[in-house]
Amino acid sequence: MSKRFYLTTAIDYVNGQPHLGHAYEKVITDVIARAHRSMGEGTFYLTGVDEHGQKVQQAAVADGKTAQAYCDELARAWQAFAAKLELTNNDFVRTTELRHQVMVEAVLRKLHSAGHFYRAEYSGFYSTKEETFLTEKDRRPDGTFDPIYGEVVELVEDNYYFKLKDHQTWLIDYVENDPDFILPQARRNEVLGFLKNNPLEDLCITRPASRLNWGIPVPFDPGYVTYVWFDALLNYITVPAAYGDPVVLGALDSAVEAPESDWRMPGSALELWPADVQVVGKDIVKFHAVFWPIMLRALGLPLPRQLLVHGWWQYEGQKMSKTTGNIVDPMAVIAEWGVDAFRYYVIRELGIGSDGNWTDAGFQARYQADLANGLGNLVNRSLSMLNRYRQGRVPERSEDLAPDAEKAIRESSENLKQLQLQTALQVVWSLVNRANQYVDHTAPFKLAKDPAQAQRLDAVLYSLAETCRVLAVLIWPFLPSTANRIYAQLGLTGSPDQIAASKWGGLPPGHAIGKISPLFPRRDQPSAGPITAGVSRP
Ligand code: MSP
C-alpha cells in the first residue's frame, strides 16, 4: 500500500446555487488530480457538500420539506453539477452521512476527554445569517454591523469552547518554517500577519439544540449540536477514515463507538492523510489556515501539505449574487458551448490566487481564437489533409516538430507539478500556435501539387498528425472530452490519459485515422441570448 496524492475542495453549502465560483474551484482541483493520475500517481480527489446549519434548516422549512429531504434533493443536484463539469472525484462527501456523523462524534469525544474544551456563558451579539458571534470590534463607526451579517441579535447563552490560545506560537512557527504550506505567498503573509497581531479567541464549537437542531449532536451533552464549521472541516478526514486510512484511524479509532458497518467501506484500505493539496477560496482562509491546523494538531494528526487559495470571480465587473441573479451558470454555458470551453476559459483566464472577471465577450473571444481557430482548426486541417493527400494513412515518421513537442511536454509537466495551471495551458497552446504556423510555412497544399515533393509532404503530414496526438495527451487534464475526441479522430483506441504516451513517435506509419469532425464549431453569429442563464444586467 502506498500513499495516494490526496486533494480536497471546500464543500459547498448545499442550499447555495451552483455558480461559476464553485465550478472554478472544482475544475482547478480536477485538473491537478488528472495531471497527477496522468503522471502515474495514485490519486484521490474529494469534493462534496456542507449540509448543516440554520440557513439550511430555514430554507427547508420555507420549502415545506424536512431538512433531510431538502438536503437529499439538493445534494443530487450538486452531484449532477460535478458530473457535468467532468470532475473525476473519487468520492462525494455529504455532512449528513452517517460516516461523517460518526467521525465528528469521535473527534468531539477525543478532544473533550483530552481537555481541549470548556463550557462558558456568552453574552453579546450574534449574526443568524452567518451563524457567528460578533464583538464590539465588528461594529462599524456608527455602531451598526456590516449588512453581510444580516440581522444581528443580542443573546446570552452557554456553549462549549475550543481553547485556541495555546496554539498560537507553534502555528506561527509552522507557517513560517514551511513557505509552501499556504500558497500563494500573499495569502501566507496575510495569515502570518493575522496570527502575529491578534491573540486567538477561543472557538465556540456548539450551538444549543433548543435554538438550532440541524446539526450533529454533541456526544457528551445532548443539549447541544456541533457548530457547522467545526463539523464541515472534518469532512477531510471522514473520507480517509471510511477508506481505512491508517493515520486517521490511528488517531481516532478508539474514540469511535459506532459499528464499522456505519462508517467503513468494506474491504478498502487506502493511505490518504495528510492531504497533499487542499483547494479553497480566499474567503475561507482563516478556517483552513488557523482553525483546521489547530484541530488536527489537537487530534495528533499531521497537517495538510499545502493549502492552495484561489481568488474570486465576478461577472461583468459585479459581485455574483443569488439575490440579484447576477450569476454565471456553468450549466447554461456548458449546454451552449461544451464543458471543455468552460474549463478552458476559467483556467486560461486567471492564475490561481488572482481575482477574475468573467465577461461574455472575453469568453466568446477565447472560444473563437484559441479553441475554434487554434486547436480546432489545427486538428481539422491536419487530419483533412491526411485524408485528402494520403487516404487517411499515417506516413513515415518525421521529426520536424519533435523539439517543439518535447519542449511543451517538459514545460507543461513542470508547471503542472508547480500548480501553475494557467502557464501550463499557455505552454500547450504555444505548441498549437507553432503547429498552425508550420502549416502556413510549409504550405502542404502547394507541396501536394508537385510530385517531386511527396517525401516532404509525408514529413509535414506526419509531424502534424503526431503533434495532434501529443496535444491530446497534454490537454487531457484540462479538456478531457476534446482529448478523447482527438484520439478517436486519429483512429486511436483508449484515452490519452498517461503523460508517458506523449513521447514523440507514437503514431505508427501506415496507421489509418478515424472519422473527422470539428472540435469547436466556429460561431460567426453571436448566440441568440446572453450566454449565461439567470443573468440580469444592470
Ligand atoms: N461550506 C463552506 C466551506 C466549508 S469547507 C470545509 C463554504 N461554502 S460555499 O458554498 O460558500 O463556498 C464554497 C467554495 O466556493 C469556497 O471555497 C468559496 O471561496 C468558493 N466560491 C464561492 N463564490 C466564489 C466566487 N465568486 N469566486 C470563486 N470562488 C468562490 O464556504
pLDDT tens for each residue of 340-359: 999 999 999 999 999 999 99
Model confidence over 154-180: pLDDT tens digits?
999 999 999 999 999 999 999 999 999
Best mutation site among 74, 81, 96, 283 for ligand 1 pocket (most ligand atoms within 8 Å of CB)? 283
Which atom of ligand 1 sits closest to the CA of residue 235? 6
* CATH classification at residue 365: 1.10.730.10
| Peptide bond between residue 444 and the one before it cis (omega within 30 degrees of 0) | no
DSSP string over 163-218:
--GGGHHHHHHHHHH-TTSEESHHHHHHHHHHHHHSPPPPEE-EEETTT--SSPBP
pLDDT tier at 21, thresholds 50, 70, 90: very high
pLDDT over 50 (residue 537):
no
Tell whether the model's pLDDT for residue 532 goes beyond 60.
Answer: no
pLDDT grade, residue 429 (50/70/90)? Answer: very high
Q: What angle do CA 38, 44, 48 make, to 5 degrees?
A: 125
Ligand 1: does its nearest atom lie under 6 Å from the Cβ of 13? yes
Give the residue whose CA is nearest to atom 18 of ligand 1: 281
- pLDDT computed for residue 128 by the predictor: 80
Report d(CA 29, CA 31) in Å as an integer. 5
End-to-end CA gap in the chain: 56
CA distance 123 to 133: 9
- Distance between CA 182 and CA 190 in Å, rounded? 10
Q: In this predicted structure, what is the pLDDT of residue 528?
A: 45
Which range, of 59-63, 108-112, 164-168, 520-524, averages the lowest pLDDT?
520-524
Q: What is the bridge-based pairing of β-strands 117-127 and 318-319?
A: unpaired
Distance CA 178, CA 171 (A): 11
User: Which residue has its alpha carbon closest to ligand 1 atom 24?
Assistant: 21
Q: Which of 32-36, 130-134, 380-384, 445-449 has the lowest mean pLDDT?
A: 130-134
* Residue 284: inside a domain: no
Q: Is 233 in the pocket of ligand 1 (CB under 6 A)?
A: yes
292 within domain boundaries:
no
Give me the pLDDT at residue 130, please.
Answer: 83
Residue 311 CA: which ligand 1 atom is closest?
28
pLDDT band at 531 (very low <50, low <70, confident <90, very high): low
103 and 234 in contact (C-beta within 8 Å)? yes
CA-to-CA dists, residue 252 to 111, 117, 181, 269, angstroms:
10, 17, 24, 16
Mean per-residue pLDDT, 407-417: 98
The three three-digit cell numbers of residue 263, written as one number: 462508517
Domain count across the chain = 1
Within a domain: 154: no
User: Cα torsion at 66, 68, 70, 76 (round to 10°)?
Assistant: -160
Do the Cβ atoms of 129 and 55 come closer than 8 Å? yes
Instruction: Judge whether 365 lies within some domain.
Output: yes
**Residue 53 covered by a domain:** no
CA–CA gap between residue 232 and residue 295 (Å, rounded) = 12
C-alpha cell at 537: 444586467
Q: Is residue 293 part of a domain?
A: no
CA–CA dist 47, 87 (Å, integer): 9
Residue 404, domain extent: 360-502
Is the confidence at residue 535, as pLDDT, over 70?
no
The overall average pLDDT reported for the chain is 95
Cα–Cα nearest to 129, from 146, 147, 151: 151
Q: What integer is the mean pLDDT of 74-87?
A: 98
Asked if the structure places residue 508 within a domain, the reply is no
The pLDDT confidence band at residue 527, using thresholds 50, 70 and 90, is: low
Q: Over the stretch 322-335, which tens digit does the pLDDT of each residue have?
A: 788 899 999 999 99
* Entry pTM: 0.95
Mean pLDDT on 49-62 = 92
Task: Please answer whether residues 71 and 96 qualify as being in contact, where contact means their C-beta atoms are separated by less than 8 angstroms.
Answer: yes
Q: How confident is the model at residue 338 (pLDDT cuts 50, 70, 90)?
A: very high
- The pLDDT value given to residue 523: 80
Q: Tens digit of pLDDT for each residue in 233-260?
A: 999 999 999 999 999 999 998 999 999 9
Residue for grid cell 492531504: 275
Residue 124 in domain: no
The residue contributing the CA closest to ligand 1 atom 23 is 21
Residue 268 is placed in which grid cell? 478498502
Grid cell 472519422 in the structure block, residue: 515
Q: How many residues make up the chain in this entry?
A: 538
Spell out the residues 6+ positions from residue 62 whose beta carbon is closer than 8 angstroms to its own.
none
Average pLDDT over residues 460-483: 98
User: pLDDT per residue over 303-328, tens digit each?
Assistant: 999 999 999 999 999 999 878 889 99
11 lines ligand 1 (CB under 6 A): yes
Using the mean position of ligand 1's atoms as its centre, give its distance from the Cα of residue 493 in Å. Answer: 38
Can you tell me which atom of ligand 1 is nearest the CA of 10? Answer: 5
C-alpha span between 370 and 311 (Å, rounded)? 24
